Amino acid sequence: SKVLLNGIEKTIFCASTDDLRPIMTSVYLDIAEGQINFVASDGHKLALLELHDRSMTETTNFVIPLKIATILKSLIKPSDELINIFIGSNSARFEYGSESIVATLIEGKYPNYRSVIPQGNDKILSIGTAELKGAIKRVSVFSNQSSSLVKLEITTDQIKLSAQDIDFSTAAEEIVACEYSNKPIAIGFKGHFLTELISAVPSSDLQMSFSDPSRASLITPVDQESEDKLTYLLMPMMLNN
């Protein structure tokens, strides 16, 4: 149960709520021998949790609809109790203790999530999770309400975060120390998306990697002890020079 709960908690907030693409309104489980991956994406952000699990002996995949995933998240306790999942052609049944939940599976094939994760992000910064989260929260208060744009200007060992709302003549900027030694880069993100992803990082430090301001950025925890791998992807916003 704690494996399923961990997988849902780390990914569910990235799932789409747009019924025009029903398959994306779910948490996707991609299971292979010794491995279970939890995936969720809305096209702007993506969460991928890769867990090593020796108890997985078969290859299968299915989606948990968002409503069912939300119910499971509130129902499951992080214990060693087992959950039995029975997967049929168009439904899945979850048995947990005395509870039994039946979900109608969403028709369609989940997109190839591996293909959208960039492999060539060579600009990497390391920073304290709490420091970055706090700075983004403070600066984003002054961003335009419709765009929620927060600009990151990254130079050697520092990030300058800035936001402005021209309509109300407000602006803010803050400089935060980090570890970075590549070429300077300026990139923009939706502030609440960035805060959401960083808030889900379980480690005290994180890494962000970039290639250029128009391509997806990756956020990963810095955790030397765990074999499991957590990756968040966020698409940037266009910056006006």
What SS3 class is residue 121?
A: coil
**C-alpha pair distances (Å), 81 with each of 2, 199, 221:** 8, 27, 27
The vertex-179 CA angle with 177 and 184, nearest 5°, equals 90
Measured between its terminal Cα atoms, the distance across the chain in Å is 49
**Residue of 13, 1, 25, 157 whose CA lies nearest to 75:** 1
Give pLDDT, residue 227: 77
Q: CA–CA separation, 83 vs 96, rounded Å?
A: 5
Using DSSP's 3-state secondary structure scheme, residue 133 falls into helix
Check the CA dihedral 100-101-107-111 and report its sign: negative
pLDDT in tens, the chain (241 residues): 889 999 999 999 999 999 889 999 999 999 998 899 999 999 999 999 999 888 788 898 999 999 999 999 999 888 888 899 998 888 999 998 888 999 998 888 999 999 999 998 999 999 999 999 999 999 999 998 888 999 999 999 999 999 999 888 899 999 999 999 999 999 999 999 999 999 999 999 999 999 989 999 999 999 767 778 999 999 999 887 5
Handedness of CA 6, 14, 226, 119 (dihedral sign): positive
Q: Which strands make up the sheet holding 35-41, listed edge to edge?
A: 60-65, 26-32, 35-41, 45-52, 229-234, 217-221, 205-210, 123-128
| Prediction pTM value | 0.92
12: its two tokens: 């569910």
CA angle, 136 then 212 then 176, to 5°: 30
pLDDT at 56: 80
Torsional class of 97: left (φ above 0), alpha (ψ -120 to 50), beta (otherwise): left
pLDDT at position 118, please?
93
Longest pairwise C-alpha distance within the chain: 59
Q: Residue written as tokens 């499971």?
A: 72
Residue whose pair of structure tokens reads 């108890």 in the numeric block: 55
Nearest-angstrom CA–CA distance, 115 and 161: 30
Determine the pLDDT at residue 132. Answer: 96
- Which residue reads 């939706």 in tokens? 190
